[in-house]
Chains A and B, each alone.
Chain A
Amino acid sequence: MSRPLLDVKDLFCERDDRVLFENLSFSVSRGEVLQIEGPNGSGKTTLLRILSGLSKAFEGELIWNGQALADVRDDFLEALLYFGHLPGVKATLTPEENLRWYAALHPQTDSITERIFDALSNVGLYGYEDVPCHSLSAGQNRRVSLARLYLSRAPLWILDEPFTAIDKRGVAAIEALVETHSQNGGSVILTTHHDLAIKGLRQVHLGGENSTEWGTSGGGK
């Protein structure tokens, strides 16, 4: 508990000659939920892509479990679940086939078929296992992707706008899942414009003149 899981130090990122954030420092410990806040275009997605390692266009330090993230990338990837803007769902495959491949990328020992069906029924897609994703709605497609949260055993979740196109009950379910995950010692970093009712939620504000943790002003340009 003493050492933060992910430590971010003096992050600086510039895009198209515009500074998105500088001197950005924060850390995430086990069991914490961190919400990245800010207006559109303030660099939330960019920040999450940097944290996940997809983007290398930044200066600063990322420290994973006390070691530089770049040195322990394999360990980090085993511990990471990244849910991006793009759902990673193939339209011509069924939800079950999509998740099966995803599960193969993140091998686990126990019986995966059962867990896939559990995950699908958890996101309200019971009975849609064999329907090609292109005949599902946008929200249902997001749900296929969100089912990965139920499959995952990764301690760190990075979720970029997980509630897009999800109905109210779905949002509540995902929120509850995030809370359970943090109670079990997992960490979550997420962006959303929803007001979250999660205990112990911390926030990082982006998009002000100074990006500060516990931001005092919620302002943007």
Chain B
Amino acid sequence: MTNKAASDLSLSRVFVMTLKRDLLLAYRRRNDLVSPLVFFLMVATLFPLGVSPEPQFLSEVAAGVVWVAALLSTLLSMDSLFRSDFDDGSLEQMLLSPQPMALLVVAKVCAHWMISGLPLTIMSPLLAVMLFLPSEGLSALVLTLLIGTPTLSLIGAIGAGLTVGLRKGGVLITLLVLPLYIPVLIFGTGAVQAATGGLPIAGYLAILGAILALGIVLAPLAIAAALKISVSN
């Protein structure tokens, strides 16, 4: 029993340490953090200029624009998730440590979400207001992004794991991951549109939550396996 308790303790400790390490690494390279956010903001700023500044039109497409921008911005930041660990050998050390790789991977994805998906979610109301999203849809937008962006990070990490060994993995990640992003996008924007139409969104949220639950359970295993393959070559 005590042995098991001790190993549980060491597991949570290694999770926290890895999470803290990745957050610290991100903090030390703050400049890199800003670019996905700037991208997110730029899409929302340029869109009305490029298409139409009519509030009527914008309010209809706002949910879609914010969601697509969030999705692409997550995708943009995905490639770097394992890159530096792969290049400097930290990934080898993670694979050769007695800790379960899936746990370390969850910690890394969690840190990635905290520095990409979470700020996007927090910024989204601002963009929604800029795009005249009706106020009834605002909470739905934040909620769906809050549930949806971790899923995007988890799925994207599978692609990042598979392509980290390749020199030019960026495009390939997009091809691998984008089809899997589509359901999240559909239910995310669907929920916001339902909310602006005064319809209940519990069903949409339940499906997004189910996708996230599935992702939390299965994606770490897939990511760990993908990284093993990438490192063994």
Q: Which residues of A contact B (CB under 8 A)?
A: 52-57, 74, 77-78, 80, 82, 84-93, 97, 100-102, 104-107, 132
Contact = CB atoms under 8 A, between A and B. Distances in A.
A215 to B, nearest CB: 28
Interface of B: 10, 13-14, 17-18, 21, 24-25, 28-29, 84, 87-90, 92-99, 104, 231-232
A88 B92 contact: yes
B29 A56 contact: no
Contacts of B14: 104-105, 107
A80 B13 CA distance: 20
Given A101-B18, A105-B14, A93 B24 contact: yes
A90 B90 contact: yes
Nearest to B26: A92
Given A56-B232, A107-B10, A90 B99 contact: no
Contact of A102 (B24, B28, B87, B93): B93
Contacts of A77: 96-98
Nearest to A85: B89
- Residue of B14, B24, B90, B98 with highest tally of chain A CB at under 10 A: B98
A86 B88 contact: yes
B97 A106 contact: yes
A95 B161 CA distance: 27
Contact of A97 (B21, B29, B89): B21
Given A56-B232, A104-B13, A107-B13, A91 B96 contact: no
Contacts of B25: 90, 92-93
A31 to B, nearest CB: 23
26 contacts: A52-B96, A54-B96, A56-B232, A74-B98, A77-B97, A80-B96, A84-B92, A85-B89, A86-B88, A86-B92, A88-B89, A88-B92, A89-B88, A90-B21, A90-B90, A92-B25, A93-B28, A101-B18, A102-B93, A105-B14, A105-B94, A105-B98, A105-B99, A105-B104, A107-B13, A132-B28
